[in-house]
Each structure stands twice: as structure tokens, then as C-alpha cells.
Amino acid sequence: MGSAGLSWLRGAAWTVFALDLVILFQGAYAVATGSGGGPTGQTLVRAFTMLLASWLLGVAVVLTVSSWWRSRLGLWVSLVFAALPLLWVGAGMLGVWE
């Protein structure tokens, strides 16, 4: 993979990470406003937001270091691990888990 491929991979990984941040901010907003449909729902929203925040912190570290070192392997790992929350939330929205 040449320099253009590496730039594409870096851009894709950062874009997917940014989409994950949108989901994180939506979860943080739900926690801040107390929405969630009752005490159990609020607890689940809070737990999901904390889980996603810690997950994305790890992805951010790997993505930043991989971008700095121009590591293809690190960028692929970042892309895959950043895509998992998007796939999980998307599957939930489409009703795959029902």
C-alpha cells in the first residue's frame, strides 16, 4: 500500500472514530437529561456510555499513535475496533437482536 492508500486508510479510520464520538455524545446527552425510560433504562444508558467512552479512549490512543508512526497495522486495528460500536448500534436500530 502506497502513500495514497495510507492516507485513505487514515482518513477512513478517523472518520469512523468521529462517527463513534457522535454516538458517545448522544449517550452523554441522554445521561445528562435523565432520559432512558425509568431507573433501569437510565442505568443501562449510563453503563453503555461509560463502556463506549473507555472503548473509544483505547481506540483514540491506538489511532493517534498509528497516525503519528504511519503504521498500517495500527490503522487497520483502529478502523476495525472503531467500526464495531457503529455496527452494534446499527444492528440494534435495525432490530437484528430481536
Residue at 92: amino acid letter:
G
At residue 92, the pLDDT reads 87
pLDDT in tens, 32-78: 998 888 899 899 999 999 999 999 999 999 999 999 999 999 999 99
Residue 31 contacts residue 49 (beta carbons within 8 Å): yes
What DSSP state is assigned to residue 70?
Answer: T
**Per-chain mean pLDDT for the chain:** 94
C-alpha distances (whole Å) from 94 to each of 6, 53, 76 are: 32, 23, 26
pLDDT bin (cut points 50, 70, 90) of residue 1 is low
